[in-house]
């Protein structure tokens, strides 16, 4: 064993991201962030820790998250605080606290770590990362459609083809109550066929039974009453128009009657993007409408809709198709004590004229051989070599590290920036 027993380890389900992996994260964050900005969404940042009350009131007391997944603790003044398990609650809290809803429609996005005490497995962690978006002040299906179109564009942009869209309508509170009653009646008629989880949920959160991941429960769920039959006219019209808009945009979808989402605050539109390439944890993006939440958290009633995607799952999909290279373009090797200072001033000049140049300058001296080894190990394309002779002649030698067929060359020191710009296409 390399690690002694006393060596501290990270908490299970909370992962380090090593330099070899962060390139893909940065790529994803940049691409998604700029697409969101392009649709007119602006970034909002809010704290990782909030009062526990906020999550209980928004997500719902009888949800998996609040019942068993939250990282909750008392801080030193005895307040109960919770590490955010999702972003919507904190986003709504911030928007209300700062009166953003008085400034008209808000299209917002956020990004960052979320915390849930779940059983760690592939695609399911205790600290994971989401990019999410929320829109406040719009009640029509046009904005629901926009969000779905935007997420569809994400996948296209990232080259992810293996994703499918499930949508459903949960209707409004009244129609959902009527539906809940008939669902409970139906399930009570099949009480013996329910698993323990479902028996428990029958009394507390029966809709969640539809969401059961237990395959034995599927047949029962398939023949349960359908939410779609209980929608009132307004919700039906909303859902029909959403589907028309998706059809017009040529976005394929499946209407999935059993899609209920795990949080209490949803109404009308809910959707999930699912892939089969990740195994069991296949939902990469999930969202829906939550018109009641702003009021529930003390604001004036305000329609809202949002989604969140799990970055680890996206990275899991991208990792097989895309490599993000972060290696240096060039590694500067300085041979001999007398060139060390010049090497560094040359490098700073290069950075002045080529801000995009990824240049690692050898530090700590060393023989030509040992520096050259470091250059190679850095993954750099080129080694720039400055020795006493080169210094005297005002040139820099250039060696290709990845292309064994390419000949070593020399370039005048004051033309080096131009040469690099042209040859590295930066
Ligand atoms: P699941 O059904 O997989 O538990 P969820 O309904 O709890 O998902 P949401 O709260 O809707 O998930 O979160 C949105 C997205 O965040 C999910 O679709 C998923 O991509 C990601 N996600 C949720 N929980 C985790 C987790 N523990 N680890 C990694 N990603 C997660
Ligand atoms: Mg979950």
Percent of the chain clearing pLDDT 70 (strictly above): 99
Residue 395 has pLDDT above 70, yes or no: yes
**What is the C-alpha R_g of the chain?**
28
Q: How many CA atoms lie within 13 A of 75 on its CB side?
A: 10
Q: Which numbered atom of ligand 1 lies nearest the CA of 126?
A: 27
Instruction: Using most ligand atoms within 8 A of CB, pick from 69, 130, 283 the residue to mutate for ligand 1.
Output: 283
pLDDT-based confidence at 212, cuts 50/70/90? confident
CA of 124 to the centre of ligand 2 (A): 8
What pLDDT digit, counting tens, does each position of 103-131 carry? 999 999 999 999 999 999 999 999 999 99
What whole-number distance in Å separates Cα of residue 134 and Cα of residue 129? 16
What whole-number distance in Å separates Cα of residue 316 and Cα of residue 284? 10
Q: Is 281 in the pocket of ligand 1 (CB under 6 A)?
A: yes
Strand partners, 74: 80
Q: What is the mean pLDDT of the chain?
A: 94
Contact between 271 and 145 under an 8 Å Cβ cutoff? The reply is no
The region of weakest confidence among 180-189, 195-204, 317-326 is: 317-326
Closest Cα to atom 6 of ligand 1:
262
Cβ atoms < 10 Å from Cβ of 252:
9
Cβ atoms < 10 Å from Cβ of 217:
18
Does residue 153 sit in helix, strand or coil?
Answer: helix
What is the distance between the terminal CA atoms of the chain, rounded to a whole angstrom? Answer: 45
Residue 204 has pLDDT above 90, yes or no: no
Q: What is the mean pLDDT of residues 25-36?
A: 95
Q: How many CA atoms lie within 13 A of 361 on its CB side?
A: 16
Among 384, 389, 374, which residue's Cα sits nearest to residue 338? 389
CA of 289 to the centre of ligand 2 (A): 18
pLDDT-based confidence at 5, cuts 50/70/90? low
Residue 416 CB partners (closer than 8 Å, separation 6+): 346, 350, 384, 396
Q: Which residue has the higher pLDDT, 421 or 5?
A: 421
Q: What is the mean pLDDT of residues 8-35?
A: 94
Residue 7 has pLDDT above 60, yes or no: yes
What whole-number distance in Å separates Cα of residue 159 and Cα of residue 153? 10
Residue 326, pLDDT score: 82
Q: What is the pTM of this model?
A: 0.91
What pLDDT digit, counting tens, does each position of 220-261 carry? 999 999 999 999 999 999 999 999 999 999 999 999 998 988
Q: What contacts 24+ positions apart, CB below 8 Å, involve 16-23?
A: 19/326, 21/315, 22/326, 23/324, 23/325, 23/326
Q: Is the dihedral of CA 260, 262, 265, 271 positive or negative?
A: negative
Q: Which numbered atom of ligand 1 lies nearest the CA of 211?
A: 2
Percent of the chain clearing pLDDT 90 (strictly above): 86
What pLDDT digit, counting tens, does each position of 300-355 carry? 999 999 999 999 999 999 987 777 778 999 999 999 999 999 999 999 999 999 99
Counting ligands in written order, which one lies closest to the CA of residue 121?
1
Q: Which numbered atom of ligand 1 lies nearest the CA of 130?
A: 16
Q: Is 86 in the pocket of ligand 1 (CB under 6 A)?
A: yes
Helix axes 19-38, 311-318, angle to 10 degrees: 110
Classify the phi-psi angles of 190: left when phi > 0, otherwise alpha if psi is within -120 to 50, otherwise beta. alpha
Residue 330, pLDDT score: 98
DSSP 23-55: HHHHHHHHHHHHHHHHTT-EE----SEEEHHHH
Q: Is 130 in the pocket of ligand 1 (CB under 6 A)?
A: yes
CA of 333 to the centre of ligand 1 (A): 47
Strand partners, 410: 397
Residue 333 gets which letter from DSSP?
E
CA of 287 to the centre of ligand 1 (A): 11
Start-end of H helices in 42-172: 52-59, 64, 88-97, 141-158
Residue for token digits 């969140």?
Answer: 308
Instruction: Using most ligand atoms within 8 A of CB, pick from 128, 285, 314 the residue to mutate for ligand 1.
Output: 128
Closest Cα to atom 23 of ligand 1:
310
Closest Cα to atom 5 of ligand 1:
262
Among 225, 216, 181, which residue's Cα sits nearest to residue 198? 216
Counting ligands in written order, which one lies closest to the CA of residue 263?
1
Best mean pLDDT range from 87-91, 276-280, 404-408: 87-91
């Amino acid at each position: 064993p390399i690690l002694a027993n006393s060596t501290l380890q990270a908490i299970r389900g909370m992962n380090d991201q090593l330099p070899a992996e962060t390139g893909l994260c940065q790529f994803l964050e940049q691409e998604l962030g700029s697409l969101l900005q392009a649709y007119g969404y602006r970034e909002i940042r809010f704290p990782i820790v909030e009062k526990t009350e906020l999550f209980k009131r928004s997500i719902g007391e009888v949800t998996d998250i609040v019942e068993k997944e939250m990282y909750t603790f008392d801080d030193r003044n005895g307040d109960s605080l919770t590490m955010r398990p999702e972003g919507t609650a904190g986003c709504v809290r911030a928007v209300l606290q700062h009166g953003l809803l008085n400034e008209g429609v808000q299209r917002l996005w956020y990004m960052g770590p979320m915390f849930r005490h779940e059983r760690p497995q592939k695609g399911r962690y205790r600290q994971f990362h989401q990019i999410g978006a929320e829109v406040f002040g719009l009640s029509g299906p046009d904005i629901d459609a926009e969000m779905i179109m935007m997420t569809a564009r994400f996948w296209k942009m990232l080259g992810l083809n293996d994703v499918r869209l499930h949508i459903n309508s949960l209707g409004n509170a009244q129609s959902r109550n009527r539906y809940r009653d008939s669902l409970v009646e139906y399930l009570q008629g099949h009480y013996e066929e329910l698993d323990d989880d479902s028996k428990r949920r029958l009394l507390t959160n029966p809709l969640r039974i539809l969401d059961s991941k237990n395959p034995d429960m599927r047949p029962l769920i398939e023949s349960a009453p359908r939410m779609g039959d209980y929608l009132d006219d307004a919700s039906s019209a909303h859902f029909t128009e959403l589907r028309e808009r998706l059809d017009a945009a040529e976005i394929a979808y499946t209407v999935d009657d059993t899609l209920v989402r795990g949080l209490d605050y949803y109404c009308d539109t809910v959707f999930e993007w699912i892939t089969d390439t990740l195994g069991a944890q296949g939902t990469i993006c999930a969202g829906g409408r939550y018109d009641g939440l702003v009021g529930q958290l003390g604001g004036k009633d305000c329609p809202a809709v949002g989604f969140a995607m799990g970055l680890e799952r996206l990275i899991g999909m991208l990792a097989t198709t895309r490599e993000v290279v972060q290696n240096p373009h060039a590694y500067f090797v300085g041979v001999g004590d007398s060139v060390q200072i010049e090497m560094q001033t040359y490098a700073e000049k290069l950075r002045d004229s080529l801000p995009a140049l990824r240049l690692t300058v050898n530090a700590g001296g060393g023989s030509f051989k040992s520096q050259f080894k470091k250059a190679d190990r850095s993954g750099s394309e080129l080694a720039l070599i400055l020795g006493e002779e080169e210094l005297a002649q005002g040139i820099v030698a250039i060696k290709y590290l990845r292309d064994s067929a390419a000949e070593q060359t020399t370039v005048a020191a004051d033309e080096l920036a131009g040469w690099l710009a042209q040859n590295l296409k930066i």
